[in-house]
């Protein structure tokens, strides 16, 4: 499987399907969710409590800038979640700002 922004080619890991913002994509089982998002060019993934869109910064769970919604649970760190099949991911969504609030920007 080749994704647009993969750093490593030729992985032999098992693949699974997850849904990101309504779109089904293929991921490697067990890789960190942030790696999957970045491999597909998804960089602006989070809206913080001040309504600002951000992407991951540290990639190891310290900065909290990769918060996403996973299977309905808000404020999950994408860099700390291993991919499993059937995950439903919502990016740029925040508990404090419901959809349609007017801050959704690309």
Sign of CA dihedral 42, 53, 86, 81: positive
Give the pLDDT confidence score for residue 104 in this predicted structure: 52
CATH of the domain at 44: 3.10.20.440
Query: Do the beta carbons of residue 73 and residue 90 sit within 8 Å?
Result: no
Bridge-partner residues for 16, per DSSP? Answer: 27
The HSE-up count of residue 24 (CA atoms within 13 Å, CB side) is 5
Q: How many domains does the chain have?
A: 1
- Whether 21 maps to a domain, the answer reads yes
- Whether 24 maps to a domain, the answer reads yes
Token pair 């001040």: residue: 50
Pick out the chain residues at pLDDT < 70.
1, 7-12, 96-106
Query: What pairing do the DSSP bridges indicate for beta strands 23-28 and 46-47?
Result: unpaired
Q: Which domain holds residue 63?
A: 15-90
- Whether 8 maps to a domain, the answer reads no
Give the pLDDT confidence score for residue 3 in this predicted structure: 81
- Whether 34 maps to a domain, the answer reads yes
């Amino acid at each position: 499987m080749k994704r647009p922004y993969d750093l490593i080619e030729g992985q032999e890991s098992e693949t699974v399907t997850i849904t990101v913002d309504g779109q089904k994509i293929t991921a490697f089982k067990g890789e960190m969710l942030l790696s999957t998002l970045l491999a597909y060019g998804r960089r602006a993934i989070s809206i913080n409590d001040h309504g600002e869109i951000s992407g991951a910064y540290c990639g190891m769970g310290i900065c909290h800038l990769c918060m996403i919604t996973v299977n309905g649970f808000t404020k999950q760190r994408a860099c700390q979640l291993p991919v499993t099949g059937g995950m439903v991911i919502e990016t740029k969504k925040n508990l404090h700002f419901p959809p349609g609030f007017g801050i959704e920007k690309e």
